[in-house]
């Protein structure tokens, strides 16, 4: 049910919720301490799991109050918007730790977050090397090149209708293909180092950029285009002043899709042959060596990288397409 | 008029004009002609590239005139770049069995005897398609349910949505072997682990699309529902759900394509047992380049079919609802 | 929703019970790699009914490039696995209590294959060259060898450049590497098939370099081996498997055909499998299934002397093999 317009200030739930959260945090600390004791680890009894469920319900109640609250100050509102997902994530990590330690899951299947965090801190130099090899040498250049080419060809298609009519059906077809399958072929063609990974990323990101930009270039309204024509603006001016800006939401959509595609593409390509560094190399090798804590540390780095990448693009999009109705205050 | 090109041109109505340009119009006014031309250009470049790509291989003759070297480059057993007709032949042989030798080439080429064995590409395509569809169903349902919950429960919108976006930055491919082993140790093997990987990848566009779709009704319409004192349930069925349908189908098209990627990736670590992913892997492992390409083409055909099927379902649904979009 | 699923799923691990005893005792075998003649003995024993005669119902799970058999065993997805000794000992140090219960492979089939035109004649010529190595637990013998030669593998000057070789022999064909890892029974012949003559190749067998480590052995978990019933069941399994290996040595062509029948990918060719069977038979020849202590000592010595950056094992393993199973099977 959508509530009536959210302009009314509602802060009455916050104090109770904060008290609840403090209680939940205390409960979590107790559980963490208890679960690592030798008499509980790996053989937690039913009453312990009952306590965990109780903590969960309390946490739900508190976050629910927080999520419904609307403080008057915008700064406080933003704080709340950040606080709620952070609490949720922290609680997920807590559950992961409790379940893996409490149920005695073997380390080689699912290490607890504490072990992963410890490994992450220990192996920072290795993780940094892998990050440079995979993200800075393969993902970013490939993503920029593939997306840039896609946008450029889209503009060219726009200028040459023949090309558009010929290329678009092919583009639509290819953008739905499982492009990941070309990874072994690219390793065969471009060798083992970052060049082959860039090639995979370029191919994977090119078509979404092309298809989305072409769709975006026809997004401006007939009214605005008529206005441009009444100014006697030529094709280039119309493109720069009206149609490219109007296409920006579509372009950013493609860039955001491509950011996750690029990361996945580079890591998968590394499964098919690499020098002895890189995220994909490390993940597949360490699985073979039973160092699952290292695997998850690498996955954590990848996930943070992907989230930051996506977040930066979302910020840029806000700045550039501030006029778009989806950013209006509801 | 200089701005003519700036406007999206409509394909010319077929055969509506007389005169000598009618044929050219039919060919090049629409999409058929341009597509054929571009495909032709791609094929020409492909054939031309076979020689430089393959020339370094030990099985290539070093000397000889150009024609002979091209002949050799187009018919290698393990090329770096196979020629298109080699791939067509591989597809024909791996679906319909070996060419019967007692007939002239063309009639032999089109005779088909399908044997349902692991040697048949169709068998692998079906394996991949089945786990794609199961994953697509699971992911689609999960996506819709999550979207409905997010739209109706404020806590979830605030706490879950950022994590749903973050979940997609986890390289699931890296986790896939772990997922398979973990589920395998629970006694869940075969189709389900692969489908779970598909579902993990494809619930995302459905959730995002449906959240957009379910919140797309205008405030005026929502206020109208409120004046009728409609329950949340009635508002959902009579207003939100119909408004979200176009968004649903748009995201389902994306989801089924992604689900196929998930199925193929899930087949890589499962120990190369069956499926197009296994074909890619074993092809790569045994250096059967032509087999890799054939598996890729088969995957492309599957993707096209799956997306077309969702499009058809969309048209049927829209027609059944009286064509309101 | 997701949380509860995760919790239920993971909690269930702790509850994974042992296999239910039926009329026929169930055994799940996890292979190290895809279905090929390397595992002919097990497929023969299954198809020829040797397992059935022993009262066993055996499921054979093919492996693959991303399947780590010790992990499958730790997760309870298999009763017994095929694994190489170095990887098994490394996993044992990592806290996966693997125990060798039988050793069908007498000899090591691993070697490094180099192009002659790269100027490599002996192991002294490796410096500055690019070598293809398999990882995923198969890199240990190579690392041991290099550290014995005193060659750095971390890409620093004066060492070798190591690349993670995929599952094929492309790097040597396309001159992306001077040498690649090969097995006598598989990849070496793929290089020959691709058109490179045997005279143009130089091979370094690990066995000849004094760094041989034991390959395909059968491993089970220490925990389960405390149960005499399980030991007895494994005894039956090992005995029937060795019968399968003997049959494969007597009828190599038929054995290769049985392997082909079990291959669900349809990627294997008869020519390649028949040849592989012949080479595999050279490695299993003379093995009764009982682990030879001298071979074990040699493997451990090789791994212990391989210090370097990341040692394979840091201390002498204890209880890493047992004769209880082969004794129960009456194998001398």
Summarised one tens digit per residue, pLDDT across range C157-210 is 778 888 888 777 888 887 888 899 998 888 888 888 877 888 888 899 888 888
Q: Which residue of B has its CA nearest to A258?
A: B169
What pLDDT score was predicted for residue B270? 57
Residues of B in contact with A184 (CB under 8 A): 280, 283-284, 292
* Mutation target among A94, A273, A274, A283 for the C interface, most CBs of C within 10 A: A273
- For residue A274, which phi and psi values (nearest 5 degrees)? -150, 165
B314 or B12: whose pLDDT is higher? B314
A225 touches chain B (CB under 8 A): yes
**Mutant choice from A176, A273, A317 vs B, greatest count of B C-beta within 10 A:** A176
HEC sequence for A254-315: HHHHHHHHHHHHHHHHHHHCEECCCHHHHHHHHHHCCCHHHHHHHHHHHHHHHHHHHHHHHH
If we measure between CA atoms, which residue out of B37, B65, B31, B36 comes closest to residue B51? B65
Share of chain B above pLDDT 70, in %: 78
What are the distances in angstroms from CA B87 to CA B291, C72, C204?
Answer: 8, 37, 37
Identify all chain C residues contacting A95, using CB atoms and an 8 Å cutoff.
Answer: 3, 6-7
pLDDT at B288: 75
For C100, the token pair is 């060798």
Query: Is B292 within 8 Å of A163 when comparing Cβ atoms?
Result: no
CA distance A140 to A309: 10
Q: Is C243 helix (H, G, I), strand (E, B) or coil?
A: helix
- Under DSSP, the state recorded for C289 is B
Chain C residues inside the 8 Å CB shell of A290? 68, 70-71, 90-91, 94, 96
The token duo for B40 is: 């032709």
Mean pLDDT score of chain C, rounded to an integer? 83
Give the distance from residue C206's alpha carbon to the nearest chain A alpha carbon, in angstroms. Answer: 21
Whether C36 shows a pLDDT value over 80: the answer reads yes
Mean pLDDT of B260-288: 75
B20 three-state secondary structure: coil
Calpha distance C305→A11 (Å, rounded): 68
> Which residues of chain A have a CB within 8 Å of the CB of B268?
271
Task: Please provide residue C218's backbone torsions phi and psi, each rounded to the nearest 5 degrees.
Answer: -105, 130
Model-level pTM?
0.78
3-state secondary structure of C61: strand
Residue B17: predicted pLDDT: 44
> Which tens digit of pLDDT belongs to each residue from C128-139?
888 888 887 778
**Sheet of C56-61, strands arranged across:** C56-61, C25-30, C80-83, C217-221, C98-102
- Which of the given ranges, C18-32, C129-143, C239-253, has the highest pLDDT on average? C239-253
User: For residues B70 and B50, what is the distance between their CA atoms, to the nearest angstrom?
Assistant: 8
Q: At what angle do helices A183-190 and A194-217 cross, to 10 degrees?
A: 120
Does residue A255 contact residue A147 with C-beta atoms inside 8 Å?
yes
Number of Cβ pairs < 8 A linking chain B and chain C: 117
Does position B12 have pLDDT exceeding 60, yes or no?
no
Determine contact: B282 vs chain C, CB below 8 A: yes
Q: Is A188 on the interface with C (CB under 8 A)?
A: yes
Report whether B193 contacts B132 (CB < 8 A). Answer: no
Cβ contacts of A106 on chain C, cutoff 8 Å: 13, 74-75, 95-96
Angle B293-B268-C196 (CA atoms, 0-180°, nearest 5)?
55
Q: Tokens at residue A153, please?
A: 């060809």
The one-character DSSP state at C110 is: E
- Chains within contact range of chain C (3+ C-beta pairs < 8 Å): A, B
Which residue has 């017994």 as its token pair? C80
C75 touches C45 (CB < 8 A): no
Query: Who's near A284: CB < 8 A, 6+ residues apart?
Result: A270, A271, B174, C65, C66, C135, C136
**Which pLDDT belongs to residue B318?**
81
Chain B environment of A214 (Cβ under 8 Å):
none
- Alpha carbon separation from B85 to A147, B110, B133, C301 (Å, rounded): 32, 15, 31, 55
Question: What's residue B134's pLDDT?
Answer: 93
Q: What is the pLDDT of residue C218?
A: 93
- Matching residue, tokens 């890493």: C320
DSSP H stretches of helix in chain A: 14-35, 46-68, 74-102, 113-122, 124-131, 140-159, 161-175, 183-190, 194-217, 222-230, 235-238, 244-269, 279-288, 292-320
The kind and range of the H/E element at C98 are strand C98-102
Report yes or no: B120 at the C interface, CB cutoff 8 Å: yes
- Cα B62 to chain centroid distance, Å, stands at 41
Q: What is the mean pLDDT of residues B106-125?
A: 74
Mean pLDDT by 10 residues, chain A (330 residues): 49 78 84 77 77 85 79 79 82 86 77 89 89 89 94 89 82 76 82 87 88 83 87 88 86 86 84 82 81 87 87 87 65
**Residue of A65, A96, A181, A298 for testing the chain B interface, max B β-carbons within 10 Å:** A181
A148 touching C, CB under 8 A?
no
Mean pLDDT of C221-231: 90
Torsion of CA B22, B28, B30, B32, to 10 degrees: 120
A51 CA: distance to closest CA in chain B (Å): 23
Q: Do the beta carbons of residue A198 and residue A145 sit within 8 Å? A: yes
Q: Which residue in A50, A192, A196 has the most chain C C-beta atoms within 10 A of its own C-beta, making it the best mutation to test that interface?
A: A192
Residues C224, C228, C233: CA angle, nearest 5 degrees: 80
The minimal CB distance from B155 to the residues A3, A63, A225 is found for A63
Residue B95 pLDDT greater than 80, yes or no: no
Closest by CA to A271, choosing from A145, A177, A184, A176, is A184
> pLDDT tens digit string along B184-217?
667 676 788 888 888 988 898 898 888 888 887 8
Rounded to whole angstroms, the maximal C-alpha distance in chain A is: 83
State the Cα–Cα distance between residues A109 and A79, nearest whole angstrom.
Answer: 37
Mean pLDDT of chain B: 78
Note whether C95 contacts A103, CB cutoff 8 Å: no
Residue of B nearest to C15 (CA): B186
* Cross-chain residue pair A228–B3, CB shorter than 8 Å: yes
**Residue A23 CB neighbours (<10 A):** 14
Query: What pLDDT is stored for residue B27 in this prediction?
Result: 61
- What's the confidence (pLDDT) of residue B139? 93
**In 10 A of CB A18, how many CB atoms?**
13
């Amino acid at each position: 049910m959508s509530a009536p317009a959210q302009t009314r200030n509602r802060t009455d739930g916050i104090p109770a919720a904060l008290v609840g959260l403090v209680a939940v945090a205390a409960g979590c600390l107790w559980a963490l301490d208890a679960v690592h004791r030798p008499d509980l680890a790996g053989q937690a009894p039913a009453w312990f799991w009952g306590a965990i469920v109780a903590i969960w319900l309390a946490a739900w109640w508190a976050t629910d109050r927080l999520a419904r609250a609307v403080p008057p100050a915008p700064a406080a509102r933003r704080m709340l918007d950040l606080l709620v997902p952070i609490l949720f994530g922290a609680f997920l990590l807590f559950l992961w730790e409790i379940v893996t330690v409490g149920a005695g899951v073997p380390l080689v299947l699912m290490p607890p977050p504490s072990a992963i965090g410890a490994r992450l801190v220990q192996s920072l130099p290795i993780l940094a090397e892998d990050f440079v090899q995979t993200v800075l040498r393969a993902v970013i250049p490939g993503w920029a090149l593939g997306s840039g080419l896609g946008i450029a060809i889209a503009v060219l298609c726009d200028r040459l209708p023949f090309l558009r009519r010929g290329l678009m059906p092919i583009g639509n077809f290819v953008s739905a293909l499982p492009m990941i399958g070309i990874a072994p072929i690219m390793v065969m063609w471009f060798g083992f180092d970052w060049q082959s990974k860039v090639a995979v990323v370029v191919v994977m990101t090119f078509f979404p950029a092309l298809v989305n930009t072409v769709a975006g270039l026809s997004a401006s309204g007939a009214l605005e285009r008529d206005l441009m024509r009444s100014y006697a603006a030529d094709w280039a001016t119309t493109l720069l002043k009206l149609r490219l800006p109007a296409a920006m939401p579509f372009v950013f959509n493609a860039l955001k899709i491509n950011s996750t595609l690029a990361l996945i593409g580079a890591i998968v390509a590394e499964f098919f042959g690499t020098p002895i560094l890189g995220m994909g190399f490390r993940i597949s090798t360490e699985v073979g060596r039973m160092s699952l804590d290292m695997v998850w540390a690498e996955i954590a780095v990848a996930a943070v990288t992907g989230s930051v990448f996506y977040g930066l693009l979302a910020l840029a999009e806000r700045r550039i397409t501030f006029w778009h109705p989806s950013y209006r205050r509801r | 008029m200089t701005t003519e090109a700036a406007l999206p041109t409509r394909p010319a109505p077929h055969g509506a004009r007389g005169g000598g340009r009618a044929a050219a119009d039919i060919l090049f006014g629409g999409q058929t002609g341009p597509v054929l031309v571009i495909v032709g250009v791609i094929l020409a470049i492909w054939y031309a590239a076979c020689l430089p790509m393959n020339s370094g291989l030990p099985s290539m003759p070093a000397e000889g005139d150009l024609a002979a070297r091209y002949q050799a480059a187009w018919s290698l057993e393990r090329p770096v770049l196979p020629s298109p007709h080699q791939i067509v032949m591989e597809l024909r042989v791996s679906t319909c069995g070996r060419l019967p030798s007692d007939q002239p080439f063309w009639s032999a080429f089109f005779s088909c005897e399908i044997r349902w064995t692991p040697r048949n590409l169709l068998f692998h395509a079906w394996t991949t398609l089945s786990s794609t569809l199961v994953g697509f169903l699971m992911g689609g349902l999960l996506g819709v349910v999550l979207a409905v919950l997010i739209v109706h429960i404020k806590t979830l919108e605030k706490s879950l949505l950022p994590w749903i976006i973050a979940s997609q930055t986890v390289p699931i491919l890296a986790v896939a072997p772990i997922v398979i082993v973990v589920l395998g140790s629970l006694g869940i093997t075969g189709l389900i682990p692969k489908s779970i990987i598909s579902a993990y990848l494809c619930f995302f566009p459905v959730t995002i699309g449906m959240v957009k779709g379910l919140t797309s009704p205008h405030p005026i319409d929502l206020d109208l529902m409120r004046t009728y004192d409609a329950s949340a349930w009635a508002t959902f069925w009579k207003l939100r759900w119909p408004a979200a349908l176009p968004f649903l189908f748009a995201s389902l098209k994306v989801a089924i394509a992604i689900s196929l990627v998930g199925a193929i990736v899930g087949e890589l670590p499962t120990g190369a047992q069956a499926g197009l992913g296994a074909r890619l892997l074993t092809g790569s492992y045994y250096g059967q380049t032509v087999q890799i390409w054939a598996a890729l083409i088969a995957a492309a055909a599957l993707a096209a079919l799956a997306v077309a099927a969702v499009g058809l379902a969309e048209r049927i649904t829209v027609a059944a609802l009286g064509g309101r979009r | 929703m997701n949380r509860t699923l995760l919790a239920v799923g993971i909690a269930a691990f702790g509850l994974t019970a042992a296999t239910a005893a039926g009329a026929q005792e169930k055994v799940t075998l996890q292979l190290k790699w895809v279905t090929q003649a390397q595992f002919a003995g097990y497929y023969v024993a299954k198809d020829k009914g040797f397992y059935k005669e022993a009262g066993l119902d055996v499921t054979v799970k093919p492996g693959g490039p991303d399947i780590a058999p010790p992990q499958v065993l730790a997760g309870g997805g298999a009763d017994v696995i095929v694994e190489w000794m170095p990887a098994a000992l490394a996993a044992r140090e990592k806290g996966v209590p693997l125990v060798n219960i039988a050793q069908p492979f007498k000899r090591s089939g691993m070697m490094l294959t180099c192009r002659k035109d790269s100027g490599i004649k002996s192991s002294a010529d490796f410096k500055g060259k690019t070598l293809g190595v398999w990882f995923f637990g198969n890199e240990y013998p190579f690392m041991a060898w290099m550290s014995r030669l005193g060659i750095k593998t971390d890409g620093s000057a004066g060492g070798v450049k190591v690349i993670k070789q995929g599952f094929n022999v492309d790097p040597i064909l396309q001159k992306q590497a001077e040498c690649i890892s090969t097995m006598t029974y598989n990849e070496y012949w793929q290089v020959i098939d691709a058109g490179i003559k045997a005279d143009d190749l130089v091979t370094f067998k690990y066995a000849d370099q004094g760094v041989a480590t034991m390959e395909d052995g059968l491993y089970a978990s220490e925990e389960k081996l405390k149960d005499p019933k399980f030991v007895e069941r494994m005894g039956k399994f090992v005995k029937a498997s060795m019968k399968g290996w003997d049959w494969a040595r007597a009828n190599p062509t038929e054995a290769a055909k049985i392997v082909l029948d079990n291959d669900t990918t349809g990627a294997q060719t008869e020519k390649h499998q028949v040849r592989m069977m012949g080479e595999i038979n050279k490695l299993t020849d003379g093995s009764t299934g009982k682990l030879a202590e001298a071979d074990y000592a040699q493997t451990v010595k090789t791994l212990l002397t391989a210090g370097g950056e990341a040692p394979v094992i840091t201390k002498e393993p204890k209880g890493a093999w047992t004769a209880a199973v082969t004794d129960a099977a009456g194998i001398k």
